[in-house]
Every structure is written in C-alpha cells, then in structure tokens.
C-alpha cells in the first residue's frame, strides 16, 4: 500500500487491491471512472508492468483512458473488444440488492454501456456508500443539450408520479457553464432523497425523449467489495 494515505483512501485502495485478484491473464477488463476506480487502474498497471499480466483495458472515460495509458495498460475501445470478461468500477451508492447510483463523476453513460457488455461487474467502494435505500446521493441523468430545459421539465413532471421524498433537479455545472460529458451531453442531477422503486424510476426516466441514460444500475452489479482499514469484504 502506498505510504501516508488518508483513512478513506486506504479503504478505496483495499477494495481496489482485492478486486484486481479477480483479473486473470488474457482478460478484457472494463476500467471504471472515479477516485476508487483510479486505485484499481494503478494496481492493474503495477501487475502489468511488474508481473507481466496481459490484459486489454476498455476505459469508461477519457480520464481513465489517460491514466491507463500512463500506467502501462493497453487500451482499446469497446467496439474493438466487443465483449468483456469483467468490469471493475466505483459507485456513489449501493444497496443490499447491489443496485447502484453512479455518475457522480459524470461518466455514467460509458460506464453503463461497458458494464452491461461484461460477463461480470465488480464495484469497489468504501463503507460510506452502502445505503438501505438509494437516493440520498443526487441521481445523475444524462440529457442531450438540444432542448435540455424541456427535457428537465418532462423529468420533473414524471417525478410527480413516482414514490420519492424530494423532487428538486439541478443542471450540473462546470464553473458557470453546463458540465459536458465525454459524449457531449449535459447532466441533470435529481435530488430525490429516497427512491422507493429504483427499477420503475430507471425505466420511466429512459422513456423521456432527450434522456440518454440515467445513473441507476439495476441488476448489473454482481459483487461489491467494501474496503476498510483492515482489508476488504465481499458483498454478493
């Protein structure tokens, strides 16, 4: 473990270190985005450089692609790889059924496409992201820039018919400008506080024209590895 890590980074590192034990020689691996996933990319890079592990990485963002190349992981796009053995990624929240909220880092679209095209998805996390009900973390929804205010109004109208505790929405900003995803879209964050039926909400959101994808990952994750000060535990 790198020296002088904060307790939270120790936990992220512990989860990442355990997750790379599931990576085997010759695998095609989806590389998630965020600070926890970055530890996993560094750990994998070390195995590639120092132990000759042969893998092909499929990054879920331009940030992760840059980091993977820096640490020596060969990377290709999803269409070249076609189907992946495993994706390892972080999450903003996970519940006991391994449903997730993702997209705090703005990469939910590529993350969902890559995880769905994988035999298995492992989420790595510290314990703070475990929740009884999803929704305290604002739910990111990726929308096309064309008519985004209309799309946002349609989302707000739809929210009236689902069981949630809050219904405020905000356009994600980068400084004073709208945040732009790797796919050139905007993100509307939904402040729902508690989502009673994540599956129903995920489907309702994706029915709205202008919505590209939402950050609810339902039935996609196979295992969560929770890192802590004394190692990591697996939740399946």
By C-beta, is 11 or 201 nearer to ligand 5RP?
A: 11
Among 95, 111, 189, 213, binds ligand 5RP (CB under 6 A): 111
Please report how close the Cβ of residue 36 comes to ligand 5RP at its closest, in angstroms.
3
Question: Tokens 């739809």 map to which residue?
Answer: 158
By C-beta, is 38 or 154 nearer to ligand 5RP?
A: 38
Has 14 been labeled as part of a binding site? Answer: no
Please report how close the Cβ of residue 218 comes to ligand 5RP at its closest, in angstroms.
15
Question: For residues 87 and 32, is the Cβ–Cβ distance under 8 A?
Answer: yes
Measured at the CA of 126, the angle between CA 120 and CA 130, to 5 degrees, comes to 80
**Residue 103 binding ligand 5RP, by CB under 6 A:** yes
111 is catalytic: yes
176 forms beta bridges with none
- End-to-end distance of the chain based on CA atoms, in angstroms? 25
Catalytic one of 111, 157, 163, 213: 111
**Residue 89 binding ligand 5RP, by CB under 6 A:** yes
Q: Token digits for 118?
A: 């994988």
Q: Which one, of 61, 46, 97, lies nearest residue 218 by Cα?
A: 97
Q: Are strands 28-31 and 56-59 parallel, antiparallel or unpaired?
A: parallel
**Residue 91 binding ligand 5RP, by CB under 6 A:** yes
125 forms beta bridges with 226
100 forms beta bridges with 94, 217
Has 230 been labeled as part of a binding site? Answer: no
174 forms beta bridges with 177
Phi-psi region of 172 (alpha: psi -120 to 50; beta: other; left: phi over 0): beta
Among 47, 86, 108, 159, binds ligand 5RP (CB under 6 A): 108
Among 16, 23, 30, 32, binds ligand 5RP (CB under 6 A): 32
Among 30, 59, 90, 210, binds ligand 5RP (CB under 6 A): 90
Please report how close the Cβ of residue 156 comes to ligand 5RP at its closest, in angstroms.
23
* DSSP H or E run through 194: none
Has 184 been labeled as part of a binding site? Answer: no
Residue numbering of the annotated binding site for substrate: 33-36, 89-92, 102-105, 129
Binding-site residues, in ranges, read 33-36, 89-92, 102-105, 129
The catalytic site residues sit at 111
């Amino acid at each position: 473990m790198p020296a002088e890590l904060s307790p939270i980074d120790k936990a992220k590192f512990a989860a990442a270190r355990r997750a790379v034990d599931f990576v085997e020689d010759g695998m095609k691996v989806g590389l998630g985005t965020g600070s926890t996933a970055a530890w996993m990319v560094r750990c994998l890079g070390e195995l590639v450089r120092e132990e000759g592990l042969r893998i092909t990485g499929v990054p879920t963002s331009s940030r992760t692609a840059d980091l993977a190349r820096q640490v020596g992981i060969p990377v290709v796009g999803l269409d070249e790889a076609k189907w992946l053995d495993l994706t390892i990624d972080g999450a903003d929240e996970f519940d006991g059924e391994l449903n997730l909220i993702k997209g705090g880092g703005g990469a939910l679209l590529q993350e969902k496409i890559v995880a769905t095209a994988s035999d298995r998805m492992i989420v790595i996390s510290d314990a703070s992201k475990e929740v009884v009900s999803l929704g305290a973390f604002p739910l990111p929804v990726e929308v096309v820039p064309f008519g985004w205010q209309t799309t946002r109004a349609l989302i707000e109208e739809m929210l009236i018919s689902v069981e949630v505790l809050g219904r405020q929405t905000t356009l994600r900003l980068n400084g004073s400008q709208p945040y732009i995803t790797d796919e050139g879209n905007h993100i509307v964050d939904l402040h729902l506080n508690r989502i009673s039926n994540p599956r129903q909400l995920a489907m309702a959101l994706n029915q709205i024209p202008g919505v590209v994808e939402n950050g609810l990952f339902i039935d996609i994750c196979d295992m969560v590895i929770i890192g802590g000060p004394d190692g990591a535990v697996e939740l399946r």
